[in-house]
Amino acid sequence: MKTNFWRRGVAAVAALAAVAVATTACTRPATTAATTAGDLVRISVGVDPSYAPIFLADREGMFEAAGLDVQVIQTEGGAAGAQNVVAGMSELSGNANSTALTVMAGNPGLRALGVYEESDRYFQVVLRDGVTPDSIKTMGVFPGIGLYFTDRYLRSLGLDPAGVNLVTTSPPEQPALLARGDIDGFISFDPWVTQAVDSGSHVAGTTGDFGAKYSQWLIASDSWLSTHEELAGRVFRVIAQAADIVDADPDRAAKAVAEAIQMDPAEVRNQVTQIDFRGRDFTPDDIEQARQLVDFFRAQGKIPGDIDPQEVLLSGWFDQNTQ
């Protein structure tokens, strides 16, 4: 069980900490190509509860009931899923927005079809006992989205991030560093938040308190999508239906995820209740958030080349193809 625990931790770090990370619609025209009932759709996922709708739909036979031939492929998370789509090893992938944008920057043929989960409370600010926000001197930071959230948090306090010692860490290391006094705080997710609190630290807020959140998108290649749009819409419709179930019945979701990735159901339930699961279209807010991520990581030298979120996020696609 310890091996699985650390495997999940590393996968979650990869998925959510991958480095790099107007309202004009970018809707694709409806395709006229017919889809074949036997078309296989492979979906790449990581091994953590953020993929709960896909695990639930797979374990409960929802794809099959909809007449779909779907294979769920577990990866180590992070960029691996989107890279599988680039390599033709899967047709779809679930990816955190920061990770998706990173891979898209180097692979302009990738497209994001819509959102299936998001949260402004999954990532939490943890401070060592006796430390207050205005007394922070050192923060433990994992690369990618962790750095972005830490930068946003410090600026929200009126602190210059350049004046705070940012120690590069991985989430599994952070609770011990905090307990030893090597860092004053960190921004991360469970189980690392709970471990730190159990050791005497405290939660000082969530990313929502300073106007930040993350989301996960369903990714496809433009070339595959051009001839399988109807099929992609049917698959995403099932994922959206499963997302509604996860949101309404976390115990049911916990059972499905626990069976899929050998994780304690109570731990799964705790994490899925920190996330809002719902299939939906992109909004102007999503486009703006993506633009802020691109600008931040470009300034950090983490995104090669240029990427226009308004081109790669297919606004209007979800509503057009999943109804």
Residue 78 binned pLDDT confidence (cut-offs 50, 70, 90): confident
pLDDT in the model for residue 30 = 36
Give the range among 14-18, 24-28, 148-152, 224-228 with minimum mean pLDDT: 24-28
Distance of CA 265 to CAs 182, 191, 226, 259, 290, Å?
33, 13, 39, 9, 33
The pLDDT of 82-88, averaged and rounded, is 96
Q: What is the pLDDT of residues 168-208, one digit of tens each?
A: 999 999 999 999 999 999 999 998 999 999 999 999 999 99
Cα separation, 249 vs 269, in Å, equals 10
Quick check: 177 and 169 in contact, CB under 8 A? yes
Is the pLDDT at 10 greater than 80? The verdict is no
Q: Given the structure tokens 């994992």, which residue do they identify? A: 142
Distance of CA 306 to CAs 69, 101, 147, Å?
36, 10, 20
b/e 99-131 (16+ beta carbons within 10 angstroms → b): bbbbbbbeeeebbbbbbbbbbbbbbbbbbbeeb
The DSSP code for 217 is: E
Residue 217 binned pLDDT confidence (cut-offs 50, 70, 90): very high
Quick check: 236 and 218 in contact, CB under 8 A? yes
Give the range among 7-16, 77-86, 258-267, 307-316 with minimum mean pLDDT: 7-16
Tokens linked to 29: 């025209």
Is the pLDDT at 14 greater than 90? The verdict is no
pLDDT in the model for residue 162 = 94
Is the pLDDT at 53 greater than 90? The verdict is yes
